[in-house]
Amino acid sequence: MNLSDAERRVRIDLAAAYRLVAMNGWDDIVYTHISASVPDSPGHYLINPFGMSFDRVTASSLVQVDIAGRIVGPSAYTVNPTGFAIHGAVHAARPDARCVMHLHSPAGTTVSMLRCGLLPLSQHAMRFHGHMAYHDYQGVALEAAEQGRLVAALGRHPAMLLRNHGTLTCGATVAHAYVLMDTLEKACRWQLDAMAASHDLVVPPWDVLAKAAAQLTADPATEGDIEWPALLERVRAADPSFQD
């Protein structure tokens, strides 16, 4: 493939994110997706081949699509255009969201079923205090009107719980979206553990929560910048073929 260095880097990062999702047990057979903008190609995005398990995705197997999920250029693979419906809507509404990750992860999906949603119980959860969106379930999000309501609910937030459905994060980079998802999934899992252990949950005062959220989002560096090299090494150690 005749790729620019920038696109090659994004492809490697995106393939690594798919592998990490599989390693963590967050994949849903071949469903859900992670998409990333193609550098220097406005309106074009990379997404996984439909039917390929996440632990087999490689940099070269990722498929380039347009905002409607239609394949751009030659490809040996097919994609799930309906699966790109949520991603396309978010990319169109949020140019800053160069990577959109939507999962049916175990803990995140379970918390999406709780009326209380994500509670600010752990420091990980406090990162999302005032920065979490919710979208009520209204069926599979394929219709334009439904997509409009979803992006309106998302607003400028970096993360969303899709009620009775799953989780979504968006970031300036693949690393950003992935680390946000990792933080969210841990926060959800620990909340479920705490709720199973006791009903006597400790929620810090609101002024403390606001302070913690401000502290946790104050670093001008993009979340994921520090963590991503270590995560890439983890994937390389397990199976370096994702870079192919």
Beta strand 132-135 with 44-47: parallel, antiparallel or unpaired? unpaired
Q: Which helix (H) or strand (E) holds 8?
A: helix 5-23
Q: What proportion of the chain, given as a percentage, has pLDDT over 90? A: 88
Lookup: tokens for 201 = 């949950």
Mean pLDDT confidence for 83-104: 95
pLDDT tens for 15-60 read 999 999 999 999 999 999 999 999 999 999 999 999 999 999 999 9
Mean pLDDT confidence for 97-125: 98
CATH number at 5-234: 3.40.225.10
Closest by CA position to 168, among listed 187, 152, 150: 150
Please check the confidence at residue 210 and state whether its pLDDT lies above 70. Answer: yes
Q: What band does 220 get if pLDDT is binned at 50, 70 and 90?
A: confident
Please check the confidence at residue 238 and state whether its pLDDT lies above 70. Answer: yes
Is residue 23 classed as helix, strand or coil in its secondary structure? helix
DSSP class per residue in 69-96 = S-B-S--SS---TTTTHHHHHHHHH-TT
Domain layout of the chain by residue ranges: 5-234
What is the predicted pLDDT for the residue at 146? 84
DSSP class per residue in 34-54 = EEEEPTT-TTEEEEPPTT--G
Q: What band does 1 get if pLDDT is binned at 50, 70 and 90?
A: low
Q: Which residue has the tokens 């140019």?
A: 95
Closest by CA position to 15, among listed 175, 168, 243: 243
Interacting residues of 229 by C-beta distance below 8 A, sequence separation 6+: none
Q: Are 125 and 185 in contact (CB under 8 A)?
A: no
**What separation in angstroms does the CA of 32 have from each of 4, 103, 223, 229?**
27, 5, 23, 25
Lookup: tokens for 27 = 């994949």
